[in-house]
Each structure stands twice: as structure tokens, then as C-alpha cells.
Amino acid sequence: MGATSTEQSFALLKERILKDGKCLPGGILKVDSFINHQIDPTLLRAMSVEFVKRFSDVEINKILTIEASGIAPAVVLGMLLDVPVVFAKKKKPSTMDNMLTTEVFSFTKNTSYTVCVSSDFLCPQDKILFIDDFLANGNAAKGMIDLIKQANATLVGMGFLIEKAFQEGGKYLRAAGIRVESLALIDSLDNCQIKVR
């Protein structure tokens, strides 16, 4: 993929955030007309092509995400990479065997919850790319790091459609030596104005 198409895919997401994104009080960006409720698969495919390019130097055999809003981008990318996609569940299914669990604090819901994944699907030989819609304070990402550690799997990188660069998650993860790729960076949502880098 050449530089032009890369620039176009950035422009696509950036333009869409500015056109259709809505600011909610408390520094929340609502993107439910194209990512979080109604989903634009063509946009997600373009974003996934960009992730493929950015992570082309690492070996990935599984994508991990967290329900619900990470699933759509993760599946589109999984299709392009031809690897399975596992999503951490927010409710413990009674049927789940060999469960690994961790606690995640939810930025949007302001509460902690337990997430789980079966060790049948997160294994020591797995080279994991974590994908999510947003990176804010990095709590979901920290929970996934814990699950990956418990499974003795390897984290090869983390990809986010949107990183809120004014929150601490990106700094924390990069300082921890994790490869983080974010397709759109939001510098500020102050005064309900969306500032995209």
C-alpha cells in the first residue's frame, strides 16, 4: 500500500470524526453513527488495511479485543489477516471452561467490572494483537495485558481506531515498551470542540 492510500485512510477517519462525531460532557467522543452503534464496514476495512500495513513487520496469529465495540474492527482485521479473533467477555458465561479473569475500570461507565476469556482460546503459543475502538486511560488495555500474561501468551502490539491523546493510556503503554498504533489522535475535547491532530 503506497503513501497516498495511507494518507487517504487517515483523512477518511479524521474527516468522519469531525463530520459525524459528537462531544459529550466529561470528555467523551460519541461515534455511534459509524463505529459504536451503526457501523460503517467500508471505513473499518480501510482502517484495517492501515493496521495490516503498520503491523506488517510482526508475526500475529490471533487478535484479542473486548466486547462490545472492539469486536467489529477486530473481526474486519481478522478477516484481512486470516487469523482468529477472541473477545474478552464482560459477563462470566456459566458454560465457560478454564476461565482467566481480570478487573477493568470502565471510563465511560465509571465502574469496575470483571472480564474473562477462556484459556482454550488464549494460549502460550499465541502472538496477540489487541484491537479496540478507543484508547483513553488504558484500563481496558491493562486488563488485556494481565489476561495475556496469565495465559503466557505474547503481546505483539495494540491498535486503536481513536486515541484520546489528552488522556494517559498512550503514554503509559508506550512507556511500558508496548507497540501502540492509533489511527486518529484526539488532542482535545475541551468546550465540546473536537480537535483532531
- Per CB under 6 A, residues contacting ligand 5GP are 28-31, 36, 69, 107-108, 132-141, 164, 169
Nearer Cβ to ligand 5GP, position 34 or 55? 34
Which residue lies nearer to ligand 5GP by CB, 35 or 122? 35
Closest by CA position to 169, among listed 155, 182, 188, 156: 182
Shortest CB 159 distance to ligand 5GP, Å:
13
Which residues have a Cβ under 8 Å from the Cβ of 77 and sit 6 or more positions away? 48, 51, 52, 63, 85, 129, 131, 159
Q: How far is the CB of 108 from ligand 5GP (least distance, A)?
A: 5
d(CA 161, CA 188): 16
Nearest to ligand 5GP of 13, 136 (CB atom) = 136
CB 144 to ligand 5GP: min, Å: 10
Name the pairing type of β-strands 195-196 and 180-188. antiparallel
In the complex with ligand 5GP, the residue whose CB is nearer, 54 or 168, is 168
Which residue is listed with cell 478487573?
103
In whole angstroms, the minimum distance from the beta carbon of 56 to ligand 5GP comes to: 25
Contact 138, 172 (CB under 8 A): yes
Give helix 71-81 / helix 41-54 axis angle, nearest 10°. 60
